[in-house]
Amino acid sequence: MSLKNFIYFIILSLLFIACNPQEEGRRKDIPKDQIPTEITMLFITQPHCPSCKQLETTMKLQKPAQLISKYFHKKILYLGEKIPKNLTPPNGTPTVYFLGYKDELLIEPMIGEKDEASLMMFLEDALLEYKTLYDIDLTLTKKDNNETNSTV
């Protein structure tokens, strides 16, 4: 094999490896029946927190409220209460952690009040990361379940 052919072979091999979809991020070690059917939103708040109240108001707007009610389970804790060991304690409020299997952090925590567009971005990112990690698209499985229930 000439040097030229060898270089072409190496380049094509590297290109083939680079173009193949990677499954590094997928969690295949978890049985499907143990993967949660909703993403947990761990909402850290405190009394008399205006930013917390503003974020809760934003969560009640039509688009975020629809996503939250369908695909998320909201759990509220007050600043200082015990949070899962694998999470970095919040520096302030509001802080929202998006959690999957055994309180696994899906995306970086959402800190501070957000407008509707920013909140939607976090919600959609959490859904995408869930899909990537567990190879389950909640938007399809929930839709299928709702259609099945409505036809029965």
Tens digits of residue pLDDT in 16-45: 666 555 545 566 677 788 889 999 999 999
- Tell which residue, 91, 87, 92, has the closest CA to residue 41: 87
Length of the chain: 152
Residue type, 97: Y
45-92 pLDDT per residue, tens = 999 999 999 999 999 999 999 999 999 999 999 999 999 999 999 999
Dihedrals phi, psi of 46, to nearest 5 degrees: -155, 155
In a domain, 14, yes or no: no
85-135 pLDDT per residue, tens = 999 999 999 999 999 999 999 999 999 999 999 999 999 999 999 999 988
In a domain, 127, yes or no: yes
For 39-105, where are the alpha helices, taking DSSP H only? 50-59, 62-71
In a domain, 152, yes or no: no
In a domain, 30, yes or no: no
CA distance 119 to 114: 6
Per the structure, the count of domains in the chain is: 1
